[in-house]
Structure 1
Amino acid sequence: MPDIRVKICGLRSLGDVAAVAATKAAYAGFVFFPKSPRHLTIPQARALTLAAPVGLAKVALLVDADDALLDAITEAMPLDMLQLHGHETPERVAEIRARYGLPVMKAVGVTDEGDLAAVFEYSLAADQILVDAKPPKTSALPGGNGLSFDWRLVAQRRWLKPWMLAGGLSPQNVAEAIRLTNARQVDVSSGVESSHGVKDPSKISAFVQAATQDGPPILR
């Protein structure tokens, strides 16, 4: 079975970084969005990214960020990828990718089959696509709401670029989500927290083990 690449998003402390580094996770996500309980200031994020070990990809999550904020973040810390989680157009995605010379992942919210056209459209501009549950209209957060969507919508789909499954994943359901969708990458934030915005090292470990099947056999 191909390796599954795991992203743990919303890290807020050196302990979070250490917990992720102790697993086989491939990506560590750092949130720059003031409305999120996982938001980091630039100095906070710099300390965490510098503590991340070589080989753990450092991803900055941004929501409709302007060039001034992107300049400040990319100049202050080592990053491996930018994740755009707002209303950025494909043209804006391509512009950011060219300006900063970093791979760009674009999040696309999904609730029904009609939303999948955007995955193709953004895959023409981005390096990767994050297929996430579309947030409720009343939510202030574009992601990290702990909501899932009908995984059958993306089952066995193939797009132009690598894609990552997100939305409502947890240690309990990630293996089934991978089985149903054939996703090769998965992303989690609230599903490995003990409370809103507070990561739980045991849940991080359990999630990565379940996703990568690095542990007891998973019964199906």
Structure 2
Amino acid sequence: MISASLDYLRDGDDAVVTVLIGGVLLLASPLVVPSILVLGYVSRVLRRTADGDDAPPVFEEWGDLLVEGAKAFAVTLVYSLLPLLVFAVAAVFGVGAAVIGSGGGDGGLLGGLIGGALALLLALAALAVSLVGLYVTPAALAAVADSGRVGDGFAVGTLWTVVTKRAYATGWLTAAVVVLAGALAIGVLSVVPVLGTIAGLFVQFYALVAAAAVIGWTWADVRPVAAEPTDTEPAERPAV
């Protein structure tokens, strides 16, 4: 699957143009809107590959692309903020423990120890939440790309049935390997000042799309199956 994901974008008709546009958008990502457009493209990759269409999308219909990206951005933001909030609470407890401990005396020392222990526990909890977020986010993005509804990215029960499947874990690990390989390539390129860093953005886009293709193919195997609609019409009575 790794080999297929690396060939995914290269086999497209407009591969060079797509990579150039994606890299330029990442270069301008501090302006926020370009990064949202990249997320919109990733959403299209997720939807297409999940539906069995392996032809890479092109950058077009920019208004719709921005809307799709905004939905993906909202999902990514929420899953990123949760661990940050826990870390913030841990920092508050840590500062409080330092203040109490500096007060001196047995009471201050005990209070500082308790506060420090709570801060450590919260920091560990934040780390756990962060790891869970990294694992669930691709499934959430695939769900939103599939249905077009932001709420599906937070349907805990439905997502749970997906992320607990072995096929999803395998797909996630494969996508992670692709991203890490891209990161290593970027690290090598960054040795060259400026130009290497800029070239790394194009590699980053390529790796991001390849990883999205892996998640899309995985989503095709693990996506929840919609229940068949039931016939609510009353049965006709036989004529007497």
What is the TM-score of this pair, normalised by structure 1? 0.26
Q: Give the number of the structure with larger relative contact order, counting CA–CA contacts within 8 Å between residues 6 or more apart.
A: 2
Larger radius of gyration: 2
Q: Going by fraction, where is helix more abundant, 1 or 2?
A: 2
